[in-house]
Each structure stands twice: as structure tokens, then as C-alpha cells.
Amino acid sequence: MLISNTLDITQPYQGYTYSYPHKSTYREFSPIKLGDIWKDEKSAFFYVHIPFCEMRCGFCNLFTVSNPKERVSKYIETMQLQMEQISEVIPDLHLKNFAIGGGTPTFLTTDELELLFKTIVDFGVAPQKFFGSIEASPKTLNLEKIALIKTYKIARLSMGIQSWIQDEMKALGRPQKIETTLKAVEDIAMSNVEEFNLDLIYGIHNQTEKSFIYSLEKTIAYQPTEIFLYPLYIRELTGLGVKNQKQNQHQFQLYIAGRDFLLNNGYVQTSMRCFRRKEAIDCRPESNYSAITDNMIGIGAGARSYTNNLHYSTDYAVKRKEIKMIINNYMSTKNFKNVNYGVALNIEEQKRRFLIKSLTDGGSLNQAIYKNTFGVIPFEEFQILNELIERNWLTEITSNIYALNQEGMCYEDVIGPALYSENSKQLMNGFEWK
């Protein structure tokens, strides 16, 4: 019998904690100067957000609008202004790894995409040295854009295909033709881009184990560097959420079937969602980036920035009308040297963030770094860690370094939310979705 039994594993899909605190904890506060926020920080991960897509998928709650008819070039100009002002205020900030996300960055035209790449290189991003990733969609990707991505030495191209079955795509509220997906995946596979990732979703309405394995078989035929398996979350104000669609009752069984299929077909599991081809090499081994301890600076509407004790961004919304308003407000901004929306992290929140980032998404818990940072041993403060050991989900892989094993990875979406503070949960519950 477990000494501690705080984890509710009867509900394995409680929340994807890719960051902490969640953006719904952010609130307005008195303006703080950007220079004061970053005065003690020397380096950062770089992120740029393109909040545009050719369509809004039924499952999507990301900060994006579909098919904007105009002002995309104005948005890029505003990002250039933001980067210029950041450079003035934080001239010595060293940028490490980077990501171009959204939305769909390849929604931009080839000329717009090249302008974006030139701008971030001028800002100090070094794609040839540090690992960078860009998001794409089948309908917006072409050979010209792939060639441009390779020219700028962006290492990783990631694309969500979700399913190879047309009826399942329809159930997701994504009117994407399988022929379009096929052309885009073939173009990527033949391009010799350094790394490419394909996303699949499980838990789709009427999806079966047979249909999910079919999509996996189609996917591994192209030997992507990584395959991400995402559980379908039906979230508030999304297309599926508005329709009140119910969760697939066999979602966890689908996951286990998909996981085992990939493990038996040349892939290794690095996190709950990520499976990497066994022979794939690290194409930027010198980058020395840590998602656990490194800062992040974000550019664009919807982009978040992280320092040790403050997370900030623009406002957040899910509805198209509200997102458009936030984007328009961003494009009318002339001064990016102050911040007034986000959440401060006290020591308790910093500890919880450290643990969440260490235990999920392929991280590892370095007890020595934790003790050096916070002055205490994590197992003495957080009983949940001892429960993970008791359940045989957390393994000491080397001296004082722990990571979730295969069984533990199944429950990352239980473990992450279990580490939320009461204060964060109250803020999340009090957030007004719009």
C-alpha cells in the first residue's frame, strides 16, 4: 500500500503542463521597465509568435486567427520594432535555441517568411549554431518555403498532420485533404531537412485502435526524426468545446497501443508525447540549452517571456474577435520597453516550475541543482516525489538525477497538474475566458 496516494490516475488527462504557471494565471499589473526585468539575466531562449493560420481547427485554443485578409506585413513590421527596442534595452542578451511558432508561421508568404528570418538573425539568433524549430501546416508548406528554411539552417521542421483518415480529420474540425497532407509530407521527407517532426492526435471521435495504428504506419513510412502523439483535449470556447463533444472513452488504451507500436518500430520514447527515431543524431549538440533553468524572450502578440521570477506576455484570448483586438492593439503599440501583464513567481512557484519542467516533456530532476538553487532537497519538501518513487514511476538514472520511466511518462498529464500551487489554481479558476 502506498504511503502517499495523492495522484488520481483514473483520469490520466488532467492538463498538458508545457509551461508553468499557466497563462490563465496572468493578470495586469503596474508597468515594469524591461531593463529592470532582465538586468540580472545573461541569456535566453528566443521565441517568435505568428498568430495566423489558414484555418482554425476545432480542437485549437492557441492564440491565432484564421485566414487574415490584410495587415500581415504590418504585424511583421511591429515585431521588427519590438526587437529593435529590446536590443536597445538589453543589448548584451545572448540568445540560445529558438522556435518560430503560432499559429502557423508558414502561413506567411515566402517573401514575408524570408523577411522574418532576416530580422531574427539581425536580432542575434544564430541558426547555424543553435537548435531552432519552425511550425508548418500541410496546406501552407511548399518546396520554396522548405528550401528557405534549409537556407537559413533552421534545424527542425514540425508539422501537425493529426490523422491520415479523412473522416477523423472532419471529426477534428480540420477541413484538410489527405492528398494535401501526403504532398507536404513527401516534400519534407525528400528535402533532407536536418530534422522533421510529425504530430498525430489520439482520442478523436469514433477513432479506433485499428485506425490509429493505420495513421502510425503511414507516418513511420516517412521516417520522421520525431513523432508526437497528442491526446485530444476538448477545451472551452474551441469549436469542439462549443459543440460539447465528449471525450473518447478509450483514449488511454489508444495511447498505449500507439506507444507500443512506435517502440516496436524503431523509435524511443523521450516523454509522454515525444518518440524519437533511434538512430537520429543531435544536430546541435553544442547548444547547451536547458528548458528547466533557462529564460525565454518572446516576440509578437501572444508570445510569452520568462525570467526566473516573472512571466509576461500580451493579453490572452480564444475567440476570434478578442484575438483580433489583441493583435490590433499589439500592432498599434509604439513602446515595448515596459511590461504590464503577467505573473510574478515567488520561491514556491519557482520550485514548482523547476519540478514540473524536470518531470515532464523529457526533462530530468537534478537534485544537486535544485538544492544549490533553493537550499533544500526536493524529496523533503514535495511528498509527490516520494510517491512517484513508490509507484516505480521515477528512476534514479545516474547519481542524484531522476527521470520518469516508461510507466511514469504515461501520467505526465496527472503529475504536472498535481504540482500546481493553490494560488495558481485559484487564479486559473478565476480567469475570465474570452
Q: What is the pLDDT of residues 161-205, one digit of tens each?
A: 999 999 999 999 988 999 999 999 999 999 999 999 999 999 999
Measured CA distances, 265 to 8, 159, 197, 268 (Å): 31, 21, 16, 9
* Rounded distance between C-alpha atoms, residue 290 and residue 45, angstroms: 9
Distance CA 258, CA 220 (A): 12
Higher-pLDDT residue of 405 and 291 is: 405
How high is the pLDDT of residue 235?
A: 79
Tell me how far apart the 2 most distant CA atoms of the chain are, in Å: 62
Nearest to 340 by CA among 353, 355, 351, 329: 329
Residue, of 237 and 256, whose pLDDT is higher: 256
Residues of each domain in the chain carrying CATH 1.10.10: 347-426
N- to C-terminal Cα distance for the chain?
A: 45
pLDDT score recorded for residue 274:
97
Q: What is the mean pLDDT of residues 392-420?
A: 97
pLDDT digits 0-9 by tens, 208-226: 999 999 999 999 999 999 9
320: its cell numbers: 476570434
Range(s) for CATH 3.80.30.20 in the chain?
25-287
Mean pLDDT within 101-106: 95
Distance CA 125, CA 288 (A): 15
DSSP E strand stretches across 15-63: 27-33, 43-50, 52-53
Around 16, how many Cα atoms within 13 Å sit in the side-chain half-sphere?
Answer: 13
308, 295 Cβ separation under 8 angstroms: yes
Q: Is the dihedral of CA 112, 116, 122, 127 positive or negative?
A: negative
pLDDT: is 65 or 163 the higher one? 163
Question: Which set of grid coordinates corresponds to residue 192?
Answer: 533532407
Q: What pTM does this model have?
A: 0.95
Range from 39-43, 163-167, 315-319 that averages highest in pLDDT = 163-167
Pairing between strand 310-312 and 305-306?
A: antiparallel
Q: What is the DSSP letter of 360?
A: S
| pLDDT higher than threshold 60 for residue 4 | no
* Mean per-residue pLDDT of the chain: 93
| Partners of 398 in the β-ladder | 401
> What kind of architecture, by CATH, is found in domain 347-426?
Orthogonal Bundle (1.10)
Instruction: Tell me the DSSP string of 326-364.
Output: HHHHHHT----SEEEEEEE--HHHHHHHHHHHHHSTT--
Which grid cell is 87? 536590443
How many of the other CB atoms lie within 10 Å of CB of 271? 17
Choices 3.80.30.20, 1.20.120.1730, 3.40.50.720, 2.130.10.10: CATH for 25-287: 3.80.30.20
Q: What pLDDT score was predicted for residue 2?
A: 46
Closest CA to 65 of 319, 432, 332: 319
Find out whether 66 and 55 touch, Cβ atoms under 8 Å: yes
Pick from 361, 332, 352: nearest CA to 274: 361
Q: Judge whether residue 359 has pLDDT over 90.
A: yes
